[in-house]
Structure 1
Amino acid sequence: MQHFFIEPSQAEGEWIRLNGSDVNHMKNVLRMHAGERVTVSDGAGKTYQCVIDSYEDKEAVLKIESQEESSTELPSRIYLFQGLPKQEKMEWIVQKSVELGAYQIVPVSMKRCVVKLDAKKAAKKQERWQEISRSAAKQSGRSVIPEVIPVCTFKEALEQAKQLDVILVPYECAEGMKETKTLLEKIWPGQSVGIFIGPEGGFEEAEIEQALAAGAHTITLGKRILRTETAGLTTLSVLMFHLEE
């Protein structure tokens, strides 16, 4: 069933009026007609089962058949703090992390990041990443669209992470799979979790020291060194499996 997003204010009584590019997609690309059913999420946790009633001007009029609280979100909010990677890897990371249940993606400029973005380029990149997040949320049946916030410094990222319950830093120099498993098993549904992933060159020792001082825990993901675009998704997968109700 096709899945669309709206603002909460667009659901009024028994009706939803869908507008914007989704109407063109529904009408001219998917060629959906009156009587066909769609799923609509309001981005705040509610999901509506609807039937297309009609098309009016640039709107699609949907009749709400039922509504429910979404069951597709993880019981914990997971924040991915991703060191800026080279080329277009960030687009792939955003797409897959949304599919795996990340609540928010935070692009972080770290010491060993090759990519350096000025304010104008960073704004354009963020806009592109947010659109990818929206598309991935639709495809995977999410009830919320994870936010990709503006690129920040490592110091700013740590300040944000201090508000979370758990901070994890997969680190190639970390040891102790038993200790890592014990730590992950202690994370329970409802806790907020931050995952810090270094860029291609990894973390500098000073960054690890700063993270530890902020309350982070270094963990190992095994004996193999994972690429930056793999490490975060691996950690998300482990947490998804552990936390999923």
Structure 2
Amino acid sequence: MPRFFINSKDVFDDNINITGEDYNHIKKVLRLKCEEIVTLSDGIGNEYVAEIKDFGDGFVHTKVIESYKNTTEPPIKVTLYQGLPKSDKMDFIIQKSVELGISRIVPVLTERTVVRLDSEKDAAKKCERWNRISQEAAKQCNRGIIPKIEVPISFKEAIKKVHDVPLSLIPYEKESKNSLKQILKSVGDISEVSVFIGPEGGFTEQEIEEAVNCGLSSVTLGPRILRTETAGITVLTILMYELGDVG
């Protein structure tokens, strides 16, 4: 059954209009007809089974047959603060993190970040593209929400955002005492985690010191140094296994 995300504002009683790119996809690509059934998600956890009733000028009018709560969202909220990587690595990180259950991704500009954003317009353009990737990944894996990819911020801004989060982790290759396994055994039942991943080249010692002073836990992921596009996905997988709904 074809599945689409819709805006919750487009839900009127038992009527839902599908607009934008999905309208063209339904009419010109899938060539769906009246009386065919689609599944719709409002991106905030509500799902609808609906029947196509007619096609208007730029919209598909559907009638709700059944509505229910989405059950695919993990019980833990994880935010990834990702050091902005080069080339198309961010696309891969977003896609796989959304599939694994990430709640939000915040690109971070660190001392060793090579990629530079020329203007606010450039940052907004990249952010718009990243959010499209998030939406497509969410649609593919039956997510109930579309994880938001925020506009890039500085490292100093990022570490200040997590002072109220129960657990904030920052993997660091020079950490030798605190392992992720030990940390997770000691935290108990928590509902939110923040994860900081450095770009190519990792974090500087000064950044790690600043992070720890702000309450983040520096952890080791083992004896092997992981690439930036591998590290976040690895931590997220472990978190979903230990604290989420994987396993």
Q: TM-score, with normalisation over the residues of structure 1?
A: 0.94
Question: Which residue does 2:173 correspond to in 1?
Answer: 172
Question: Which residue does 1:160 correspond to in 2?
Answer: 161
Question: Which residue does 1:183 correspond to in 2?
Answer: 183
User: CA offsets per residue over residues 40-83 of structure 1, 9 Å max, x none?
Assistant: 11111111122222222221111211111211111121100000
Question: Which residue does 1:235 correspond to in 2?
Answer: 235
Question: Which residue does 1:136 correspond to in 2?
Answer: 137
DSSP-derived class of the 1:81 partner: strand
Question: Which residue does 1:91 correspond to in 2?
Answer: 91
Is the 8 Å Cα contact of residues 49 and 65 (structure 1) preserved in structure 2?
A: yes
CA shift, 1:189, in A, is: 6.0
Is the 8 Å Cα contact of residues 166 and 190 (structure 2) preserved in structure 1?
A: no
CA shift, 1:165, in A, is: 1.5
Distance 1:131 1:231 in 2: 23
Distance 2:101 2:190 in 1: 14
The runs of 5 or more residues in structure 1 that have no matched partner are none
Question: Which residue does 1:74 correspond to in 2?
Answer: 74
Seen in structure 2, the aligned counterparts of structure 1 residues 184 and 22 have a Cα distance that, compared at 3 Å, is: same
Distance 2:53 2:187 in 1: 45
Is the 8 Å Cα contact of residues 195 and 232 (structure 2) preserved in structure 1?
A: yes
List aligned pairs for 1:3-22, cutoff 5 A: 3-22=3-22
Seen in structure 2, the aligned counterparts of structure 1 residues 187 and 138 have a Cα distance that, compared at 3 Å, is: farther
CA shift, 1:176, in A, is: 4.8
Distance 1:36 1:206 in 2: 59
Seen in structure 2, the aligned counterparts of structure 1 residues 159 and 144 have a Cα distance that, compared at 3 Å, is: same
CA shift, 1:132, in A, is: 0.9
Amino acid at match of 2:207: E
DSSP-derived class of the 2:81 partner: strand
Matched, 1:60 2:60: yes
Seen in structure 2, the aligned counterparts of structure 1 residues 142 and 12 have a Cα distance that, compared at 3 Å, is: same
DSSP-derived class of the 1:208 partner: helix
Question: Which residue does 2:128 correspond to in 1?
Answer: 127
Is the 8 Å Cα contact of residues 99 and 138 (structure 2) preserved in structure 1?
A: yes
Distance 1:109 1:8 in 2: 33
Question: Which residue does 2:42 correspond to in 1?
Answer: 42
What percent of counterpart residues are identical?
45
- The number of residues matched between the two structures is 244
Distance 1:159 1:127 in 2: 25
DSSP-derived class of the 1:161 partner: coil
Amino acid at match of 2:38: V
Distance 1:194 1:163 in 2: 10
Distance 2:59 2:218 in 1: 50
Distance 1:22 1:132 in 2: 15
Is the 8 Å Cα contact of residues 11 and 17 (structure 2) preserved in structure 1?
A: yes
CA shift, 1:129, in A, is: 0.8
Distance 1:104 1:184 in 2: 20
Amino acid at match of 1:47: E
Distance 1:176 1:52 in 2: 59
Amino acid at match of 2:65: E
CA shift, 1:229, in A, is: 0.3
Amino acid at match of 2:172: Y
Distance 1:111 1:22 in 2: 40
The runs of 5 or more residues in structure 2 that have no matched partner are none
